[in-house]
Each structure stands twice: as structure tokens, then as C-alpha cells.
Amino acid sequence: MKLTSLALLGLHGLASSRKVNWQKPGLCGVQQVQPNVEVFEDVSEMQRRLNTTFSQLGRSSPSITPHRLRKMKLKASLRIVGGKEAKQHSWPWQVYVVLNGMYYGYYDSGVECGGTLVDNRWIITAAHCVGSSQVSGYVRVGIHNFRDDDTDFSKRLVKRAVIHPGWDSSTFENDIALLELVSDAIVDPEDISERQRVTPLCLPNEQTCFDKRTPCVVTGWGVYDSKTYARHSELQEVAVRLMPKHECTKHKTYANYVKPSMVCAGYEKGGKDACAGDSGGPLMCRVKDQNSDSYTDKWVLYGVVSWGIDCAKGGQPGIYTSVPAMYEWIHETTGLKSDKKFRFDECQTYEDKLEQEWADDVVNVFPTAPVSEVEYIPEEEIPRKCEIDWSGTLTDEWQTMNSHKGMDKAAWARNGAPKYTTKPYDTNNDCILSLENTDETKIIQLELTSSRVDCNGLSTARSYSASERAEAGDMLEIISVSDDRFSMYSDDTCSIKRKHARVIQDTTQIIVNFSTDRFRALNRKTLREDTKQKFDIGFQLKYRLKFRYHDCEASPQQKLAKGDRIVLSSENYGRGLYSYGSQCRFFVEAEEGATLKWEVIKVISKRRTRGNGVCDLNRDDNLLFLDSDGCQDADLFDEAGVAKNGLISESFCGKYKKPKRFIAKPFGFDKERVCIFFSAKAKALGENPNAKQGKGWQMVVTAE
């Protein structure tokens, strides 16, 4: 394949969108709104406020049967017990998840859970919230009251779900899943007000660990009626204590089911806990400065709400999936990297004191941080490729160039571009192909026979963000290097029907520039790549070297024996229009003793003059029969380039609404030879190269 870099010609491709490393400290895990001081209120006081209605209300539990899980419908995301309403936007990484899919063998819709934003396109939630990887749904970002109608801003569609391969629904081991979004959660990273509402939480790594003193918080939208599963509209919050395993596993069920990949959090005597549902929500802990006793302004995601027995009861704390234990899988799936600052040398020992210190020091523990300036990731070169299917050579024979190898070339040649395809052209194409000629007697001819290229980015019309739609769009340019007036750009090339094939010619070089974006049209229901693509269809063109002044199909030199018959026609006759500067020169001669006769079958050429019915040789597209011994320039023109006198025997121009057959008759020359000459005048007259030309002509010559 012949690829040439032609930057000096101003050819261009589509750049990739700018990306932000949201896992950089200062961008992730930083609040602009200080949380409530009361969240760290004394646990004994909070315990007295508990509503005993919740004594029978549990989270998802390994002991709950699939039938009961089905009955619960998993719609009651986490109930915060012993907590209170959070300040609006004080936990800007909390998201509200609504999914549809298969759960324990049954289809369920509108399953509600919590989740945590860790990147502009990735949410972490619980595996039991997802059910299977074949899900659809959405998340809402930057909300406080989930019943608010601000869905235009907050709703982001889920593109796909990735469940941890070790997820075990019978033991709730590896209860974690990732949701990839169709569009960015943060539309404008430089919008300070938007980042106050929506900010990712920092990821830990496998060496992140916290002691008992660490401030940890669980958030979610809480259930307050165990029978109806009615829930708080506003986001709830509660502070919990990380618990050592010997405290956590005193209950028999916990002893059997708590695994190393799980984290316990709550209180030995109960009182504060996460509850029934908001499974998938965050357990987040404050990062401590390793060089001092003070806490930083950063939070990390330490756990994912998973399961528990009842709520806030003594000896039965909440169980969370350990995110540090899942870090490698998260990194491999998303490419996200935790900052090295969260790689701790050791875990400190547990201490008894907690609540009062938090309450006394809350202003220092929870300072709001200044908004860090966004730093964009240096754009890596996206591996660009060129999947155009062509020979890489230029000869006198017609050759085909196809947009990609998967297309049905024969069907394209026969019918043109289909309405849809299951084998679209490749994304991230960056092709600049050069056809070059050094033979002065010849010219490059290229015919764009059919095309359907998504130049307007229609594949992103649904299910993509405004910024992605602005980025989308493919490009097909066919450039005449000698004269740019004849070039065809995307406005001319993106949709070409076979019967309206476009032709371009150049004496020295033609460039084909084909660049594609990274998008595919998504199925509206599944939000996965649609199996039938309507926009990224492809193109097919053909090209060759030909004699410089001859655009017609048949050979310019014809010699007929007695009884021979040939059909001559203009460029693209029967398939489209002849080109902007089309010329044909046929020199036909008969063998000795034979007589040439002609019969014009049809003429539809472009005529610019009206009135007396006589063709204007300088302005109309004429078909001429010339009494000449040849069809070269020297035979037809004098040294000044002026046509020689007395050569024209017959001329035809204009349009016949109904094809007329002329009576076959001899040319009437003394010699049995003729130069049949056709010339389109649009190029010489400086008209628009893309203007519509004529359909052409056809004739028959016989030797009798």
C-alpha cells in the first residue's frame, strides 16, 4: 500500500478528545462543600433515636433466598441507619444507579442502587446490583434529591457493565462491578460550579489501609418503611468505624461468610450502619498524612456496600467489598491508576477513641479544598491505521479502491452503497493515498462510483454527549493537485449514488484522503454497538491511467474490417454523467474496400446557447465528425492552437427528450476514416467543477 504524508497540502484528520487524569490527588476525593458536623455525633445519642421498625430490615444477605431477593426487587438501595441528611453536594462522587436486566434468573427493570464515580466514564457499584453483564440503564450524577426533575443534566446512559469474574452470588464474594458510561459525567472539566456537584472519588491501591481512627463515611438514599420500601428523597450520610476481623465475625453467619476480600464497618454494639439496598454505594475514608497526625483534604473509596444481617444491630456490622483487594482488576479493566501517595508502608494499629475526636476536630478534619486546576493528560498518539483495500499501483487498466476489506465488492459494483451494513468501515482510519503520473501523454482518471460516509457525525446523534457529537465526523476528500477547482471535498463525496458517479482527472497527481472518527451508532435499547450500521457504510472508486485527451471507454484507435460493427459512447454513458472537462477522440478507419457508416442513437449533452438550432462550437458540448487523417492535436489545431478550417462534417449537441435514431449513412469522405470528437466546455469556460453535466451520447459505426 502506498501511503504518503502530505501535511503541506493542508490535509487533516480528526484529533482525539482531551482527557483529564481524574485520579490525580487534588482532582479526585476533594469536597468543595463541607459535610455536616453532626454526622460524627456521639453514637449513644444516635442509638436512642433508632426506629425499631428497622430491626427486620436487612441488606442483601447470603442467607436470603433468590425468591426473596426477587420479591424485594432490589429496589431499596442502602438505608442509612443512625445518620442524617447530607449537605447538598458534600459527597459529589455519589451517583444514583437505575438498571434493567436479569437478576437470579428473572428479568427486572428499574433496579435502584448506589454507585461511586471514579472517572469521567466509570462507575463502581456492587455486582449484585448488576445481575449480568447484559444490562441497560442509566446513572444520575451530581444530585441530592433523586426525585428532582433535573434529568437533562444529571442522567448518563450506561454503555456496558463489567462484573468481577470471581463474583459468587451464593457467598457475595467479589461483589463489585464497573459501569462504563456512554458520555462524560463531567461535561466541562474547567467549569468550577459543575465540579462542585460532580467530582470523582480517589481509588486506593493494594497497599492502601486504614486504622480505626480513620474517619469513614457511608452515603445513600435511605429506606424508612420496611413494608413499602419508601425511601428518603435526599442523600443520607453516616459515620462508621472500621472493625477488625475478630470483632466482625462474632456472629456465626459472619464467621462463615466474611472473606479476606471483604471489609467490616460499623460498631460492636450497633447503632450506626448501612442498610437494605444502596448496595454499590461508597464506604469512603479520609486519608491521613503519613508524616503527621493530621488528615488531608482527600478521600478514597475503601469499600463497596455489599451485605449484612438486619441493620445497626450489635455484633452484625455492615460488610463491604474491599476496593484495595480489587484494585488490580479495576486497573486492568479501566486503565485507571491510583496515585502512589495512597501506597502506605504499613497499617496502623486500632485505637478505641473515635467519635468525640471526630466531633471536636471536624473543622480541621474536613477542611474544604481549593479547586485544583485541571491538567489534561498529554495526548498520546492514537494508533492510526489505513484499512483501504487497493493494489497500490496505477496502470492503464481500471482498478478498484474500496474503503475497507469487509465490504461486498461485487455487490457495491453492481448496486452501489447499501442502506445499512453489518461490516462498516474501520474507526480511527487515517489514510492519505497518492496516485501519481509522470507520462505526459497520459492522465490519471478517478471515478467515485458510490459512497456513504458519515461526514456529519450522524452516528453520534443519539446516546452521545454534546462534546462527543462536536468531535464526530468522518472525511473523504479526493484532491486534484494540479488544479484544486476539480477537487472533491466532504460536501461532494459523502453520499454518492451509483448512477451519479463523480469523475476527477489530473495530469500528475490525485490524492485520496480518508479519515474516520472513533464512534459507532449505538442500539437505542442495549446501548451497544448496533449490528446494523446506517452511517459508516463505505465508498468504492476506480482509477486508471488513460490517454490525456480521451475519457471514453473504448480504445481511441479503431480499425474495422468489412462487416465489423462497434458501439462508441461518451464517458459514463448509461451509468452517470460525463465529467467536467470530458473529452473523447476516436480515430476510426476501415480496411481497403470497406465503407464506414454511422448511426447516432442518443445525444444528451449540455447546451448553453438557444435560438437558431445551430450548435455553438465554443460554448456547447458538441459531438463532431471531423474529416481528418488523425485525432491528435497536430491533426486538428494549428500552431496557435486554433482549430483548422473545413474539418467538421457533422455536429450534434443538446438534449433529445426521446432518443432519436438517425438513418445510417456514409460519412461522405474521400477516405474511409473519421475523427469522432467530443468536448465538454465547462472546464474551459471556468464553470463550477461540481455542476451537473450531461448524460452523454451513444453511436454505432459499421464497415460495409
Which tens digit of pLDDT belongs to each residue from 617-663? 888 999 999 999 998 888 888 887 788 888 888 888 887 655 555 56
Q: Give the contacts of 113 (CB within 8 A, at least 6 positions apart).
A: 74, 77, 97, 99, 125, 126, 129, 277, 278, 279, 280, 281
Residue type, 423: K
The more confident residue out of 94 and 580 is: 94
* % of the chain surpassing 70 pLDDT: 76
Torsion sign over Cα 530, 531, 536, 537 = negative
Look at residue 450 and give its three-state secondary structure. Answer: strand
Residue 436 clears pLDDT 70, i.e. is over it: yes
Considering only CA atoms, which of 456, 463, 41, 472 is closest in space to residue 271? 41
Kindly report whether the global pTM for this prediction surpasses the value 0.85.
Answer: no
> Count of alpha carbons within 13 Å of 162, Cβ hemisphere only?
13
| One-character DSSP codes across 653-669 | -SB-SS--PPPPEE---
pLDDT at 273: 45
Q: What is the CATH number of domain 557-703?
A: 2.60.120.290
Expressed in percent and rounded to 5, the helix, strand and coil fractions of the chain are 15, 35, 50
- Common-topology check for domains 382-547 and 557-703: yes
Rounded to whole angstroms, the Cα distance separating 281 from 62 reads 18
Residue 414: the pLDDT is 92
What are the φ and ψ backbone dihedral angles of 45, each rounded to 5 degrees?
-65, -40
CATH of segment(s) 37-365: 2.40.10.10
Please name the amino acid found at residue 47: Q
pLDDT for residue 572 is more than 60: yes
Report the catalytic residues.
Answer: 128, 175, 279
pLDDT one-digit tens code per residue, 499-550: 888 888 899 999 999 999 988 898 877 777 888 999 999 999 999 998 888 8
Phi, psi of 169 (to 5 degrees): -70, -15
Which residue would you say has higher pLDDT here, 289 or 112? Answer: 112
Are residues 42 and 353 in contact, defined by beta-carbon separation less than 8 angstroms? no
At position 58, the amino acid (one-letter code) is G
Q: Where are the domains of the chain?
A: 37-365, 382-547, 557-703
pLDDT higher than 60, residue 596: yes
Give the pLDDT confidence of 28-60 residue by residue, as tens digits.
Answer: 888 888 777 666 554 334 333 333 333 333 344
What would the pLDDT profile of 658-682 be if each residue is shown by its tens digit?
A: 555 556 677 777 778 999 999 998 8
**Superfamily of 382-547 according to CATH:** Spermadhesin, CUB domain (2.60.120.290)
Q: What is the pLDDT of residue 57?
A: 34
Q: Residue 33: is it exposed, middle or buried by C-beta count within 10 angstroms (0-12/13-18/19+)?
A: middle
